[in-house]
Every structure is written in C-alpha cells, then in structure tokens.
Amino acid sequence: MAIETMKRVLIIGTGLIGASTGLALRAAGFAGRIDGWDQSSLERMAAMQMGAIDAAAASVEATLELARTADVIVLAVPVLAIKDWMQKLASVTRSGQLITDVGSTKLEITELGKTLFAAPETADFLPGHPMAGKESGGAMLAEAGLFNNAMWLFTPGTPEPSATEKEWRDWVGFLGARTLDMDAARHDELCAWVSHLPQMLSTALAALLEDKFGDAPEIGAIGARALRETTRLGASPYSMWRDVAMTNTGPIADTLFALEQRLAHVRENLRTPELRDEFALANKFRQRR
C-alpha cells in the first residue's frame, strides 16, 4: 500500500501524545487531513491552534461521524476510555480502516480488540504504546520531536498485518520512532517494572516527604539534584495513572512487593558488606545502559 493512500487521520484525545502525534505527522510530511476530538474544549482548541489537527469535533457524535471516513483512527485517551471508544467505533468503522491506540497497558485492550475487530468486515485494530511522554500532560506541552528515537511498542492481535497496518507502521518510523512487537501480557509485565514501578516509587517518596516535611524551607535548600531526579515523576497527576493502576494491578503489585523486600534487605544490611554488594549490582545495571 503506497504511503500516499492514507488521506484522513482522526486523533481521539488531543493531549500530549495525541497532539504530538499530529505535529509529528505534519513534520514527517503527511499532507492529508487530521481531525481531532478531546473531552476538554481547551485541549482540542490548543491542538488546533498549534497545527496538530486541522479541525476539532465538538461532540462524541460528530467524532463518530468523522470516524466513518477516517483511514486511521488514533486513540490517545486513558486506557479505560480507549476501551470505551473501541466499543463505540466497532459499529461505525469498516474493513480497510485502521484503529490503533497509545495506551500504557495492553493486555485488556488487545483482548478486547480480538473480540470487537475479528470479522472480515470490521476495521483492523493494532494495539500500540509509544514509550515517550513527560511527567505532565496537555496539548500545550506537545512537540513534533517527542517520538524521536523512542520505542513504539505493538502487541498485534492478528498474525498477518493488513495493508493499512503496514502503512501506519511506516508512518510511525517516519515520526522518528523505533518499533518492537511483543506479546501483550509480556508488555504489561515489563512496563510494570520499567515504567509503572518508577512512577509509583517516585509518587510514594514525594508523598512521604510531603507528609514528613511539608513546606519546610530547608528541604528545598539542601535537596539538590538527587531529590529532584528521584521525585520528578511525583509531579505526574493521578488522572494520568489511574487507568494504568486499574488495568495492570497484578504486575504492578508484584513489582511493589519485590521492591518492599529489596528495601527491607537494604535496611537490614546498612552496616554489613552486603550493602556494598547491592551498590555493585546497581552500578552494573547502570553501566549496561
């Protein structure tokens, strides 16, 4: 399928990732039409003003009408909203169209996609997850280069990609991203360790410090770089992470339990050579990366 055949893209959710996708498509040379929708009128207007989308739908009903003629529909909303939109789109889309998402968890989305989009007459569905973002969201923070050298993960539910899917994968490469396919359950397990656990750790540490010290001026004066780096993700809003916690509860809980055990081991060995061994393992991990 020639790249020029993708003429209309619909981005549902014009926050950081959705608006960045629109900007990146334009920067990569996409000359077709990009429509968008967001629950927040401020977000969709900001996306339109910065050129991430050409026009903004004013309602869910108007968005579903646009979905009927879109070549590719990108779901860039939280995970539970992605599942809700999948249900809505199943009845208004058709064969030859592609629906894809950027959700941070993939097992529930992938399994639902196998149910809703399995028949020959339905749209293709490609679960996706760009490993890119910032600790805060919103269209105003969007940028065309957000996906440069980022890993864009896919957890396809069908073994053979359609022509439309192949074209979208090509465009993801044009956006500057690298791609990797993996099993959905494996995706959620790995992301629990490398993405979700760091977020929960940073959130817990920042909340603990707030409880312990509040607005004590000494903390800002002596906290320096180490404190800023370890609590940076603590600035992330709950609205960005609620659905991740609800749809990847088991793997995240497993990582938190493992960390609790590791912290207990460190606590119990503050005055033994085993603390040195722990630092050696940590150094080895960092040197590999």
Instruction: Provide the number of structural domains found in the chain.
Output: 2
CA 53 from centroid of its chain's CA atoms: 19
Mean pLDDT for 36-58 is: 96
Residue 159 sits in the same domain as residue 195 = no
Q: State the CATH number of the domain containing residue 199.
A: 1.10.3660.10
Residue 2 has pLDDT above 80, yes or no: no
Residue 7 sits in the same domain as residue 142 = yes
Which is more confident, 241 or 220?
241
Residue 267 has pLDDT above 90, yes or no: yes
Using one digit for the tens of pLDDT, what is the confidence trace for 202-227?
999 999 999 999 888 888 788 788 88
Which is more confident, 215 or 14?
14
Rounded to whole angstroms, the Cα distance separating 133 from 136 reads: 8
Residue 200 sits in the same domain as residue 137 = no
Residue 134 sits in the same domain as residue 23 = yes
**Is the CB of residue 89 less than 8 Å from the CB of residue 67?**
yes
Q: Give the number of other Cβ atoms within 10 Å of residue 227's Cβ.
A: 15
Mean pLDDT for 225-248 is: 93
Mean pLDDT for 30-53 is: 96
Give the model's pLDDT for residue 217: 85
- What percent of the chain is modeled with pLDDT above 70? 98
Give the model's pLDDT for residue 172: 97
Domain of residue 271, residue span: 186-288
Average pLDDT score over the chain: 94
Mean pLDDT for 41-56 is: 96
Residue 118 sits in the same domain as residue 259 = no
Q: pLDDT class for 114, splitting at 50, 70, 90? A: very high
Residue 243 sits in the same domain as residue 263 = yes
Using one digit for the tens of pLDDT, what is the confidence trace for 67-110?
999 999 999 999 999 999 999 999 999 999 999 999 999 999 99
Q: Which of 181-185, 221-225, 232-236 bottoms out in mean pLDDT, i.e. has the lowest?
A: 221-225
Residue 191 sits in the same domain as residue 147 = no
Give the model's pLDDT for residue 3: 47
Rounded to whole angstroms, the Cα distance separating 168 from 71 reads: 10
Residue 168 sits in the same domain as residue 190 = no
Using one digit for the tens of pLDDT, what is the confidence trace for 118-169?
999 999 999 999 999 888 889 999 999 999 999 999 999 777 888 999 999 9
Q: State the CATH number of the domain containing residue 89.
A: 3.40.50.720
Of 137, 163, 182, the last residue of a domain is 182
Residue 278 has pLDDT above 50, yes or no: yes
Q: Give the number of other Cβ atoms within 10 Å of residue 272's Cβ.
A: 9
**Is the CB of residue 285 less than 8 Å from the CB of residue 226?**
no
Residue 42 sits in the same domain as residue 152 = yes
Give the model's pLDDT for residue 226: 87
Q: pLDDT class for 1, splitting at 50, 70, 90? A: very low
Give the model's pLDDT for residue 4: 62
Residue 54 sits in the same domain as residue 151 = yes
Residue 174 sits in the same domain as residue 191 = no
Residue 175 sits in the same domain as residue 232 = no
153 DSSP 8-state letter: E
Q: Model's pTM, two decimal places?
A: 0.93
Which is more confident, 289 or 230?
230
Mind giving me the DSSP string for 178-208? EEEE--HHHHHHHHIIIIIHHHHHHHHHHHH
